[in-house]
Amino acid sequence: MNPDERSSNVITFLGTTPNIGTTLIALATGVRLAEQTHKRVAYLCLNLKSSKLHRYIGVDEKRASLDELLPHLRNESLNQQLLHHAMHRYSSTLELYILFGNRYRETAEFYGVEELTHLIETARKAYDYVLLDVSAYWDNAGTISALLEAERIIVATTDALSHFQEDYLSWIGVMGGHIQLDSKALFYAVIKHRGGLYQPRHCYSQFAGEELPAVTIPFSLYEALDRGELKQWLKQRGEGSKWLSSYAKHFAPAASERAAGSRKLKRNRSLSAAAAMLFKQD
């Protein structure tokens, strides 16, 4: 492990609605970043009540979980070596390391913003990219600390009206101003559902941020989740190995430099203006 401190890219993945595929997008982006950049990538699951990632990739490793680090977080003794030891290496060929989420729902309230900020700051010093996967609900320290610490935020939603309008406004529209979301680089990903009345372009027109390519979750991916074979699916030939390969390009160094130099994000519009547009949708 390189002991040198480094300035990482902290990217938070937030869903407007639970159980729509935000974790799948977050992990796949981490895999593609590790594949395409050959950098050290940390994936921190800050879902404090319903973490399922270990099941998706077929891992049952008690030490590689957030709750094992809680004593160190509470007394601010966590260092890079302790964190790295608690991480699960995704693959021997990739520099992607995963910290699985809290296993015990009853201990979710033990985590405060201070503890999780300490975790994020430790990871920031040790890895080139830090990906934070959080709950869709904002009433917990995991979501709040991840949004405060991130330079870039990916908001995942679907083409269901209740998701990209009602759920979006109920949290992001209300709370966004309190944590200055308009100061972040915001990206939006729309997950397409079969038979939906709205097209991704209708959804993207509502948001003050940059569009990411719309996402389709293949049926074969759902089958892989049930078998605990998400890792194998993302590597297999065909749709698995190509799924979300374009996402990493948005966050690789070359793309970041171009964005900083020439792109004016739609996020410069105020959240209130975006909210007014949302309610114009019939």
Reported as a single tens digit per residue, the pLDDT across 84-96 is 999 999 999 999 9
Mean of the per-residue pLDDT values of the chain? 84
The DSSP call for residue 180 is: T
- Report pLDDT digits (tens) over 63-85: 678 988 999 999 999 999 999 99
The residues near 10 (Cβ < 8 Å, ≥ 6 apart) are 120, 124, 130, 132, 149, 150, 151, 152
CA 203-207-212 angle, to 5 degrees, is: 70
| pLDDT above 90: residue 31 | yes
| CATH class of the domain defined by 9-278 | alpha beta
- Report pLDDT digits (tens) over 107-138: 888 999 999 999 999 999 999 999 999 988 88
| Of the listed ranges 189-198, 207-216, 229-238, the one predicted with least confidence | 189-198
- Report pLDDT digits (tens) over 161-186: 889 888 888 877 777 777 778 788 99
Query: In terms of pTM, does the model score above 0.75?
Result: yes
Distance CA 22, CA 41 (A): 18
In single-letter form, the type of residue at position 192 comes to: K
